[in-house]
A and B are shown apart, each in its own frame.
Chain A
Amino acid sequence: MLSRSAENLYWMSRYIERAENAARVLDVSYRMSLLPAAAPKEALYWKPAIEIGNDPATFKAQYGETSQSNVMRFTVLNRENPSSIYSCIRTARENARAERTRISTEMWEVLNETWLSLADLDAAKLSAWGVRPFFDWVKARSHLFRGVTVGTALQDDSFHFERIGTFIERADSTARILDVKYHVLLPRSEDVGGAVDYYQWGALLRSVSAFRAYRTIYRREITPWRVAEMLILDSAFPRSLSACLAQVANTLQLLARSKRLECARLAGELFSDLRYGRIDDIFQRGLHEFLTDFILRNNGLAGALQKDFMMSDVVE
C-alpha cells in the first residue's frame, strides 16, 4: 500500500485514541475538582491535565493561569493545539477522508458524523452540552469507531497500521498519566490511607477504566505500588503498557513478513522487558525514570516504524 496511506491510517487511529485519552484525563480532573482538597485545586487537578498533554509550554505561553476554564479551552476547543480534542477529531477525520478507499464506509461515517457534531463547538456550546456528557460522548465515539473498525474493516495491512496507531498512542498515554499522577500524588504522604488518597488513586484508575479491573485482580485496598504494577505489567489489562506492546509487537511481525525490520526488533525488545519485568525492580530504579525511558523508547519505535514503512525512496 501507499506509504502515505499507511501513515494516514496510523495517525487516524492515534488521533482518535488521543482524543479519547484527553477526555479521560479531563473527565477525572473535573470529577476530582468537585471534591474537597487541601491543596489548591489548580495544582492538584488542572496542572496535571496540562502536563500529561504534549505541549505544556504552549499552554503557559497562551493562557498563563492554570484555571479550569483555560485548561478546557486549550485541551478541548483550541483549534491550533494539535492535540486538543477538537483538533484530534478534525485530523482523524481528514486522514480518514484521504483514505476513503481504504476504510469501510461505516468507519468513515462514524468519523464524519463525529466531526460534524463537533465542527462548530465553542465554549458556550460545550457548556450547553454539559462537560461530563461531552467527555462521555467523546469516549463513546472512540469506542464506536474502534468497534466498527474491528467489525467491518478488511484485516489487511490497513487494519494492521490502524491497530498499531491505537496501541502506540495508548501506551504513550497510559505512561504519561501514570507518571504525572504519581508525581503529583505521591508526595502527599500525610494523606496515605485517608479518604482523599483513596479518591485520588481511585480516580487515576477510573481515568483508564481500571477501577473494576483492579478490584478483580487484587481484591485489596488501592495502593500506588499495585496501581503501577497493573498499569505497567499486567498484560490482561488492555490499557497496560504490556498489553499495548504485545499488540504492537505481534502486529509488526505480521507487517514485516519475512523482512527484518528495526521497528519490529524494537517492539519485541520493549515488549520482552515488560513481559518479564518485575515491579520491584522498576521501583528500585525509580518509577519516573522507568516511565520516561519507556516513553522515549516507545517514540523511538514509532520513528523506526515510519522509517521502515513510510519513507521508501530512490530505488536502491
Chain B
Amino acid sequence: MFISWAMRDGVFFDEMTAEDGSSRPAYAQLQAWLDDTPIEYLRRKRDEADALFRRLGITFFVYGEGGGVERLIPFDIMPRVLSSAEWNTIESGCIQRVRALNMFLYDVYHDQEILEAGKIPKDIVLHNRAYRPEMAGVDLPHQVYSHIAGIDLVRTGPDEFLVLEDNLRTPSGVSYMLENRETMMRLFPEPFAELNVRPIGSYPDILLQNLWAIAPAGSSEPTIVVLTPGNLNSAYFEHVFLAEEMGVELAEGQDLFVDDGHVWMRTTEGPKKVDVIYRRIDDDFLDPVAFNPESTLGIPGLLSVVRSGGVTLANAIGGGVGDDKAIYTYVPEIIRFYMGEEPILSNVTNYLLRDPKDRQYVLDHLEDLVVKEVHGSGGHRMLIGPKSTKREREDYAKRILANPAEFIAQPTLALSTCPTLVDDDLAPRHVDLRPFVLSGETTTVVPGALTRVALREGSLVVNSSQGGGTKDTWVLSE
C-alpha cells in the first residue's frame, strides 16, 4: 500500500514522511511492510481491535448530562515509531526532570533553599493551592514525592521534543500504554518480529518493586494496595488493571480505616495492616478530618498516620505543587539549581498572566495563543486562539482580567503528525507523548509511552474527553 498525502504546507512535522515524500529512517521498515499490505487488511484489523477492547471492557467514564456513560477510548492501529536516539533524549530528559522535581518537592517541604536563594518567588510556592502545609517536615522514604509521573511531550521538528506539562499527582494512561501493546502484538505479529520493538511489559514489576522500596521501616513483607475512588471514576479500568497486574488489593476508602497509628484493611479474616497505598484519589479527598470534610472517598485519620510515618502514599500528598502550571515556567531553573545541569528537554514558552508585561502581550495576541487555567486539566475551559471567535476571545479576556494569576498562555504549537487510520484511509493527525517515569530507590522509564492522537482533522486537542484516541508507541532498539 502506498501512502501519500498533501500536508506540505510546511507547518507541521510529519513523523513518518519527510518533505520529499520518502519515509524517515525510523519508519523505513514499517513503510516497507505497509507497502505490501492492502488497506482492507488494516481495516479488518481495526475492527478486530475494536472488538477486543470492547470484550475486555477497556473503557473510561465520561460525565455528561444525566450521569456518566462508559466509552471506549478510540484506538488507532497505526503505531508511532521512535528511533533509539530519539528515545534516549526523551528518557534522559524525563529522568532528569522528575529527579529535579522530586528534589524540589523535598526542599519546599523542608528548608526551602530554592526560595531562600531567590530562584522562585515564595508566593508561587507557599501560597499555591497545591502546596500542602500539612506535609511540612515529613520525611519520606528515599525523599520521593512523585513515584509515578507522566510527562507530556510534544514534538515540533526532527529534534524538537518540548515538555508541555508535568503530571506528578495521579497521572493516568499507563494501562492504555500496556494494553495497546498487547493488542498490537496480537494483531500484528509480523512487524514485531522484524522491527525489534523494545518491550514495556516490565512496568507493573518495576512499579511493584518501587512500592516495596518505599514501605515504612520495619515492614519486611509490606502490604500494598491501590486506592481507587470507585467504579464511577474515569480511570477505574486502570486502577483495576494495575492492582491485577501487581497482584495487590484494589481498595476503596471504605475498605480502609485508621487505628493505633496504622492504616488497616477490612478483610474477611479481620483487619490487616497496610504499609503502602498507591492512591488514585486527589489530595483534597484523602482525609475528611484534615481536608475536605465532605469527602466519602478517603480515610479519616490518614494524615496523622502519614505524618508519623506509619504508611507511605504514592504519590505523596502535596506533590501537585511541582506540576502546577505556574511552577512549570521555573522547571528549567529547578533543574539547574538541584542538578547543576542544563535541562535536556525544553519547556514551551510560557506567559504568566500574573506578570503585567506578559499579560499585556497575551491580551494583545489572544488570536495566536493558547490560554489555560493554572489549575485546570483535561483540556477543558481553555482558549485556543486560532480557533476561537472574537466573542470567545472577548469573554475569555474578561475572565483573565478578573483573576490574572489563575491563567497562563502558550504559543500554539505546530504539533507533529503521525499516520492514522481515519474513516477508511491513512491520514496525518496530531499527536503528543506521555512517558511514565517511576521513582523509588532509582528513577526509570520503560521504553514506551502513551501516544495520544487528535482524531479530528486539524485538531490539536488530544485529550480523550475531547475526541482524542491512543496509539501504541514503538521504541526501536539500536
Chain A: residues with CB nearer than 8 A to chain B? 1-6, 94, 97-98, 100-101, 108-109, 112-113, 116, 157, 161, 255, 309-315
Contact = CB atoms under 8 A, between A and B. Distances in A.
Given A2-B251, A101-B240, A309 B268 contact: yes
Given A98-B231, A313-B266, A315-B260, A2 B255 contact: yes
Contact of B270 (A109, A116, A161, A312): A312
Given A3-B268, A4-B255, 11 more contacts: A2-B249, A2-B255, A2-B268, A5-B249, A94-B231, A100-B244, A112-B55, A112-B57, A314-B271, A315-B260, A315-B271
Contacts of A108: 57
B57 A314 contact: no
B231 A3 contact: no
Contacts of A309: 268
Contacts of A4: 251-252, 254-255, 266
A312 B264 CA distance: 10
Nearest to B265: A2
Nearest to A108: B57
B271 A101 contact: no
Given A2-B265, A2-B266, A109-B55, A312 B271 contact: yes
A260 to B, nearest CB: 14
A315 to B, nearest CB: 5
A3 B240 contact: no
Q: How large is the interface on B (under 10, 10 to 19, 20 to 34, 35 or more residues)?
A: 20 to 34
Interface string B223-261: 000000001000000001001100001111011010110
B267 interface: yes
A97 B255 contact: no
B385 to A, nearest CB: 41
Interface of B: 54-55, 57, 231, 240, 243-244, 249-252, 254-255, 257, 259-260, 264-271
Contacts of B270: 312
Contact of B231 (A5, A97, A310, A315): A97
Contacts, number: 64
A153 B268 CA distance: 19
A157 B259 contact: no
B244 A157 contact: no
B255 A3 contact: yes
5 contacts: A4-B251, A94-B231, A100-B244, A112-B55, A315-B260
B113 to A, nearest CB: 41
A3 B252 CA distance: 11
A217 to B, nearest CB: 38
B267 A101 contact: no
Nearest to A95: B231
A31 to B, nearest CB: 35
A101 B57 contact: no
Nearest to A309: B268
A124 B421 CA distance: 37
Contact of A101 (B244, B252, B266): B244
Contact of B257 (A161, A310, A313): A313
B235 to A, nearest CB: 14
Residue of A4, A109, A112, A314 with most chain B CB atoms under a 10 A cut-off: A4
B231 A6 contact: no
A2 B267 contact: yes
Contact of B266 (A3, A94, A157, A255): A3
Given A2-B251, A4-B266, A313-B266, A101 B257 contact: no
A100 B245 CA distance: 11
Residue among B250, B257, B260, B268 with max Cβ neighbours from chain A (10 Å): B268
Nearest to A157: B268
B270 to A, nearest CB: 5
B268 A6 contact: yes
Contact of A255 (B55, B249, B268, B271): B268
B259 A314 contact: yes
Complex A-B, nearest 8 residue pairs according to Cβ-Cβ distance, in ascending order: A101-B244, A3-B266, A309-B268, A312-B266, A100-B240, A6-B268, A312-B270, A315-B259
A314 B268 contact: no
A2 B268 CA distance: 6
Contacts of A3: 255, 266-268
Contacts of B250: 2, 101
Q: Which residue, B249, B257, B267, has most C-beta atoms of chain A within 10 A? A: B267
B267 A315 contact: no
A310 B255 CA distance: 10
Contacts of A113: 55
A23 B54 CA distance: 27
Contacts of B265: 2
Contacts of A1: 249, 267-268
A47 B211 CA distance: 58
Contacts of A116: 54
Nearest to B256: A2
A281 B270 CA distance: 41
Nearest to A158: B268
Contacts of B251: 2, 4
Contacts of A6: 268
Contacts of B57: 97, 100, 108, 112
A309 B270 CA distance: 8
A200 B380 CA distance: 63
A113 B260 CA distance: 45
A5 B254 CA distance: 12
B444 to A, nearest CB: 25
A206 to B, nearest CB: 35
Contacts of A255: 268
A91 to B, nearest CB: 12
B257 A314 contact: yes
A157 B267 CA distance: 11
Contacts of B249: 1-2, 5
A196 to B, nearest CB: 48
A310 B268 contact: yes
A248 B257 CA distance: 30
B243 A101 contact: yes
Contacts of A97: 57, 231, 240
A2 B259 CA distance: 17
Nearest to B268: A309
A250 B240 CA distance: 32
A2 B271 CA distance: 9
A116 B244 CA distance: 23
B174 to A, nearest CB: 17
Contact of A311 (B54, B243, B266): B266
A97 B56 CA distance: 11
A310 B265 CA distance: 11
B231 A313 contact: no
A5 to B, nearest CB: 8
A178 B250 CA distance: 41
A315 B268 CA distance: 14
